[in-house]
Chain A
Amino acid sequence: MIENKKAHKFGMVIDLDKCTGCGACMVSCMAENNVPFKEDESNKKDSITWMRVYRLTNGKSFPETQIAYIPRPCQHCGGIGDHGHSPCVSVCPATATDYGYDTGIVSQIYTRCFGCRYCMGACPYHARYFNWWDPKWPEGMENYLSPNVSPRMRGVVEKCSFCYHRYQLAREQAIVEDREIEEMEYQTACTTACPAGAIVFGDLNNPAHKVHQIVKPDPHPDPLNHKVVGKSRNPKVFRLLERLGTNTKVYYMSDREWVRKAGDNYLKGEWENVKTHHGASSSHG
């Protein structure tokens, strides 16, 4: 019997001070999700990398140079006001990408996508990738493809699914055993592969989950920007392009102020005013 349970809101927080930029998350993601690759991957603008690690510097010269790596999966945006109208979901003309109100995951239906690429244009994170070529793997490597993830055909868009097939497996098991999914039962490939333990994944709606405890998401709209919901009450945590109102479910964490500032765009003097602002109810977080 289906009970009326509170929806999940899966998300992650990535500790950028722990991330070494090793790329294990990218590799595990490609292997887990049957991502094809080209013979020459040097042109990153047409390579498929559901998880992509960006390299940032603070722009200062030696000895003050600092580096940070930002792993960027699909941000699984909730859209303005967190109502599920993600930048990509709202524009797809064929409903080939959808917002899961029970999970907060933005899906991609490969067999329905007809390759107009409007979603790619609408995504400011470049998290969506088009299959410019037929998917190919070196001979013999097809044997290592995951049976739980369908490979994508040429001419459609694909992106990170938060390893949705892992959620499906965990959910099926939990249903059979008539219980809730445990936190560690559903973890994304990148989370499990990160050797530094920089990625924490779980249910942002579940106070028992570590991701919730780190992020402390504010359920109220941000008084400074009503488009923003779920702002972190942790002063070290931020989201990419938060002020656009995309309301992503991927949070980042850093002790370094310049890294947190790089998460968004600020006019001169704005950062000083907002850097200590952490949501509507930060005082009781």
Chain B
Amino acid sequence: MDDALIPEGAKRCGFPTFMIGIVIVGAVLLWGVYAMFLCWFKGLNQTNMNDYYGFALWIWADLAVIAVGGGAFFTGLLKYIFKVDELKNIINFAVIIGFICYSSALLILAIDIGQPLRGWFIFWHANVHSMLTEVAFCLSCYFAVLTIEFIPNILENRQANKVPFFHHLAHNMHGVMAVFAATGAFLSFFHQGSLGGVAGVMFGRPFAYREGLLIWPWTFFLFTWSAAAFGPCFTLLVTKITEIITGKKLVGDKTVHLLAKISGWMITTYIIAKIIDTIYWAWVTVPSMGFKLSHFYSNNGFYGYWILITEVILCGVVPGLLLINKSTRENPATRTIAIILGVIGVCLNRWVMVLQIMAVPVMSFDTWALYIPSWQEVATTILPVAYGIILIAVAYRYLPVFPQELELNKSADAAAQN
């Protein structure tokens, strides 16, 4: 019934099957929307946050989706500025994932603030010394850039493209996309960095505090670097999941191998920097404030050295090595393991830089504070996931997202027809 909207030549499941999937995910989405309205109308007492945990699950989710959404700016930078043309086969999808991640981040922030109607104060009464101000400005601007990058793909819908104006607009927007890609990379450098700076500048919190360059703590650079490194892992992971669900090959191996290789080298160089940063922090910064490293990883029921080792070694060094090594990179099983570990690693890093900071006692007579989120927090955190699934499903069904799709599935489609 929606055949006229489906890209020409592309095979899609029947409309009823599609709608069943949408309804199931939509139910989860509605659950999240219900929790969101509870938070807006009844207030943040609906959460399990408290005065020790002013930043909690949502801020972690916010930082995590922005980090994994970094695949959009980095892939765009490589494709349009460094002219890595092979990435044209995945750039549309990277942009859609980025769009989902950033719109989710803005939604989470709108739920997270205690006075949502005053959200604009961050722009109106901006404190130029605050990293969060920089985050708000760059995040909003970059979301606008992502929307601009997404529009040509939307206009390439079979019916929309029949309208001459839309056809030419999409064509011309593609032509000037390098400008937006460069703008996006510039904005992303700053907001990814400022998100790292949010933690790094907190000189009252030794677990978070980092020295740095001029006004930027080292976490500023590490966050940008890690988003560029692990963002492509998430793009590859979502591509893989989409391929499994649709039962089709959507992106050619050459493109996947190239992006995995770039990601691998970025991860490896990032993790070297991260290890140096951790060693300096543990041996120089923290002792100067009167703490031993063990203070941050003991005397509590959850945060131990395991989290540091998991983040840096298991989900940092290991995926880096697996992806820079040609044989493991080109082996689908080890590559998938590497990208999953990479995504877990960057999310774990954001967790540590949000929640563990809040948990660690600073005053000598204070105690560790652990926290379990309420169902409203969990539901609103799952909300963007459901929204993302629906948007990807709709985009995949009605837009020519994957330029290689027809070519890669020609033989399978022919076999199915026979």
Contacts and interface: CB of A to CB of B under 8 A. Distances in A.
Interface of A: 43, 45-46, 54, 56, 70, 77, 80, 85, 87, 90-96, 112-118, 120-126, 128-134, 153-157, 240-241, 243-246, 261-267, 270
Contact of A243 (B113, B289, B292): B289
Contacts of B291: 265, 267
Given A114-B121, A241-B363, A132 B126 contact: no
B198 interface: yes
6 contacts: A92-B127, A122-B205, A124-B362, A244-B289, A246-B204, A261-B364
Q: Which of B125, B129, B203 has the most A CB atoms < 10 Å from its CB?
A: B203
Contact of A94 (B50, B127, B206): B127
Q: Which of B121, B126, B369 has the most A CB atoms < 10 Å from its CB?
A: B121
A40 to B, nearest CB: 13
Nearest to A154: B43
Nearest to B114: A115
A265 B291 CA distance: 6
Contacts of A126: 51-52, 366
Given A131-B114, A134-B43, A263-B364, 11 more contacts: A45-B52, A91-B131, A96-B121, A112-B125, A115-B118, A123-B204, A128-B54, A156-B115, A246-B204, A261-B364, A262-B364
B393 interface: no
B77 to A, nearest CB: 27
Contacts of B55: 117-118, 121
Interface residues of B, number: 51
Q: Is the interface of B mostly helix, strand, loop or mixed?
A: loop
A64 B301 CA distance: 30
Contact of A270 (B115, B290, B364): B290
B132 interface: yes
Nearest to A268: B292
Interface in B326-379: 357-358, 362-366, 369
B371 to A, nearest CB: 9
Nearest to B295: A265
Given A94-B125, A243-B289, A128 B204 contact: no
B32 to A, nearest CB: 21
Given A46-B50, A115-B114, A130-B114, A264 B364 contact: yes
Contacts of B289: 243-244, 265
B354 to A, nearest CB: 9
Interface string B2-30: 00000000000000000000000000000
A87 B54 contact: no
B325 interface: no
Given A114-B122, A267-B290, A121 B202 contact: yes
Contacts, number: 163
A122 B51 contact: no
A114 B290 contact: no
A95 B126 contact: yes
A241 B287 CA distance: 13
B136 interface: yes
A99 B412 CA distance: 68
Q: Which of A90, A125, A246 has the most B CB atoms < 10 Å from its CB?
A: A90
Contacts of A123: 204
Contacts of A95: 125-127
Given A94-B122, A95-B125, A246-B204, A241 B130 contact: no
B369 A45 contact: yes
